[in-house]
Structure 1
Amino acid sequence: MASELEELVGFLDDDRAEVRAASAEIVAGLTASAEGIEKLKAVQRPLVIKLFRSVGRGGDAARKSLVALVNLSHDPAVVEVLLSLNVVNRVMEFLRDGSIPHVDLLTGLLANVTISERGCRDLLQIGQGNMEGLHMAVLLKKFVVGGITLSPGEPDPFEHVASVLTNVTRLAEGRRLLLQPGRGLLAALVSQLQSWNSLRRLGASGAIKNCVMSAEEDGTLDSILDDKTALQHMLRPINGQPPLEKEDTVRECMAEAVLVLARTDKGRDVLWEAGAPEALRKGYEDEQHPGVCLAMERTAEIFLSHSTIDSGMTPGIAGLASSSAAAQRQQGQEPEGQQQQGQ
């Protein structure tokens, strides 16, 4: 005899739309708590399968089913089940054909499953020949277009792609894809640092930092430094000019990225040309976050140590490096996903 949970799961693909919707609502409610998710583990695999079927059939049940899937995907064991069921390709099919209107939840699901390395590899289509990078190209295009066309305060269905970008750039393949010459993906990414949406800025800054931190090892340093506009975008959040960047994490990511570039000969030269010393001096004046200040101070020290080969060194940048505040301010990029949702 079927258990109550098994019966509940069975109703998710009932021919009657109202029954599917009622069942999906109950399941979504259960997944809103850790206790509920634990209870559902007894029917984990059939539940995930039926939820996807419910999503594909549309109607009122589709959104509740997606809410349940997003909440369940916070559990690594459920993520493995989802990946074994080809979740990435299925979500991308929904996004491409527009058959499912709940883009915010679809992209939130991708943000959660790409916390897993396997999820990142599936999204990047690693090892799939000419198909490699196709999913990411589609996502980036929709992400950037959304950033241009949406007005401040409007619902942003593709904002969770920012978290996806942070996640996939933890892999060398993801970083190389974004920095591939001629594709313009880096330019598209840095443009999001000026978005009104803080989630977009946070995700973009995390992805840029990931790319910069491993640039020498990945062989992509030239790709970053050759894009002068990208460097200007990277300096913008930390140059102290209005409108000021309110997110500490964004400023810290960019300050640390600039520090890494300044440690290389070519990077230092390009930063000089981009006016980095003056930008750092102005940004430092009112900066309060310890991590941002520390990165700025270390960058200034690097510029000072090479000042004999460049007469552009200014008293301001010297003062930044020797600031007594350095002794007082000490700082004691996580993978990103979508938060658990209620009904």
Structure 2
Amino acid sequence: MSALSEQLLSDILSHLASPRPDVRVESLKALSATLQPTSAPSSELAVRMSAASYAEAKAPATICQLISGPTSPLPGGERLPVELPPAAVEKWSQLVTGTALDAASSLLAAGGEVAAEAFADAGLATRAGEAVLERGSSFASTNAEPTARQSVVASAVACLANFSRSEAGAASILSKEALLTSLTKAFLDHPAGAARFDCLGHAATLLMNLAQLEAGRKFLLRLSTGYLKALLPSLRSPASARRYGAAGLVKNCCFDKDSAYHLIHELDLVTHVCYPLCGPEGFDMDDKAGMDLSFWMEGEEKVREPDEGTRQILVEAVLLLCATGRRSREALREKKVYEVLKTLDLSEESEAISEKICECVDFLMRDEEGEGGREPVFVEGGGGMGGEVGGTGMSASSVIRSEGNYDDVD
């Protein structure tokens, strides 16, 4: 694929402004299609150039207008010659909004910080947030297949999560605390069921990305709201997206060294982090002394976290806690973290995780008296948004692709 031609760009942008909702949908799909990489060696560069062309032509502003007014005429644009019946308006509203959110995600994925800055200027955080909150009655799901409204919510949450991968996007979302508070409360008030569609699942990914910034960590660690404490049970959610996002936001909060006592002693973070790392192997009687009962009470029925990425993040969270000081390590030893990690390593197939376990063990088995009080230094923000944060390889989430189906109408 070559870089976007001026004619194709002009055609797509003109069709985005069409008063016909079906034309809007097809043009949004065409926009996303031009941003899909191919196997060609020059494909990635071409996609970035195409994304830059869209951003320069103010496509993000048009996309944001379609999110908020899916069947309304754009400023200065034409109106449909006939009014749509209410049922058709409802159907096309969901379809155009969902497709516009997916197009925004595609453009954010391809355009990086340039696209994020354009979407921040266009007010994506507010518009995508409203797309979620206006469909609040759809949060609670009893079915495995999503309704049209639930699919739009899922696309909006995924779009915000993709937006938060960039510094401009994260800052834009964090500046709207009322919106962020409403989204966080909605996520907490509607836990995922084992066999139900989870339209809010990637809100955990959004919070994980925001926690890469100090402002995001302060939001989660604020004692008056207790958000982090309320989010910890998500580490045991039946929904993998929630578990992964929760693990990431917990780990990123562990970068706040001043909060180590609060995390370890007041939130009992060690128990929450280590429980998913325990499996059916069991522990010796000596190992159980001082260990939380939940680590071994389930016996052979205990299931270890199945996702490799989530396990690695949890081990890295332990590593960060180890690095917060001698007293933190003493508390981890008392809670039998070494025994948990030792048992995990015996069954762990990932070399990357085993390496992190070894780093934790080095901390936990060190001669504290011989270290002279010297602590290792973790440099925060080593790779910026979307890259490594600190010295343990935490990165922003990968791009979330929507699998929504907007054809059905509630």
- TM-score w.r.t. length of structure 2: 0.66
Match of 1:81 among 118, 121, 140: 118
In structure 2, what residue type is equivalent to 1:245? E
Match of 1:280 among 341, 344, 361: 341
Match of 1:9 among 3, 6, 13: 13
Match of 1:224 among 240, 263, 277: 263
Q: Specify every segment of 5 or more residues in structure 2 that has no aligned partner in the other structure, as ranges.
A: 1-5, 38-42, 71-91, 137-148, 281-301, 370-391, 405-410
1:248 corresponding residue in structure 2: 308
Superposition deviation, residue 4 in structure 1: 5.7
Higher mean displacement: 31-40 or 279-288: 31-40
Match of 2:350 among 289, 301, 304: 289
SS of 1:226 mapped into structure 2: helix
Q: Is the 8 A contact 1:103 1:157 kept in 2?
A: yes
Query: What is the CA–CA distance in structure 2 between the aligned matches of 1:337 and 1:300, rounded to whole Å?
Result: 29
Identical aligned pairs, as a percentage?
Answer: 21
1:24 corresponding residue in structure 2: 28
Query: What is the CA–CA distance in structure 2 between the aligned matches of 1:88 and 1:280, rounded to whole Å?
Result: 40
Superposition deviation, residue 49 in structure 1: 2.3
Query: What is the CA–CA distance in structure 2 between the aligned matches of 1:115 and 1:298, rounded to whole Å?
Result: 28
Match of 1:122 among 169, 172, 191: 172
Q: Is the 8 A contact 2:217 2:253 kept in 1?
A: yes
2:106 corresponding residue in structure 1: 71
Q: Is the 8 A contact 2:116 2:168 kept in 1?
A: no
Superposition deviation, residue 273 in structure 1: 3.9
1:175 corresponding residue in structure 2: 217
Match of 1:47 among 54, 59, 66: 59
Superposition deviation, residue 262 in structure 1: 3.0
In structure 2, what residue type is equivalent to 1:244? R
Q: How does 1:130-149 map to 2 (within 5 A)?
A: 133-146=177-190, 148=191
Match of 1:56 among 59, 68, 79: 68
Q: CA RMSD in A?
A: 3.1
Q: Is the 8 A contact 1:24 1:64 kept in 2?
A: yes
Query: What is the CA–CA distance in structure 1 between the aligned matches of 2:53 and 2:365, rounded to whole Å?
Result: 62
Superposition deviation, residue 203 in structure 1: 1.8
2:226 corresponding residue in structure 1: 184
Q: Is the 8 A contact 1:32 1:342 kept in 2?
A: no
Question: How many residue pairs are counted as aligned between the two chains?
Answer: 309
Query: What is the CA–CA distance in structure 1 between the aligned matches of 2:135 and 2:393, rounded to whole Å?
Result: 45
Q: 1:86 to 1:273 in 2, by over 3 A?
A: same
Q: Is the 8 A contact 1:28 1:64 kept in 2?
A: no
Superposition deviation, residue 63 in structure 1: 2.1
Q: 1:11 to 1:236 in 2, by over 3 A?
A: same
Superposition deviation, residue 3 in structure 1: 5.0
Q: Is the 8 A contact 2:207 2:245 kept in 1?
A: yes
In structure 2, what residue type is equivalent to 1:63? G
1:53-106, CA deviations, whole angstroms, 9 ceiling, x for partnerless residues? 222234232222222111111112222211111211222222222287501111
In structure 1, what residue type is equivalent to 2:341? L
Superposition deviation, residue 27 in structure 1: 3.1
Q: Is the 8 A contact 2:263 2:269 kept in 1?
A: yes
Match of 2:332 among 271, 293, 299: 271
Q: 1:3 to 1:225 in 2, by over 3 A?
A: same
Q: 1:260 to 1:342 in 2, by over 3 A?
A: closer
Superposition deviation, residue 332 in structure 1: 11
User: Is the helix fraction higher in 1 or 2?
Assistant: 1
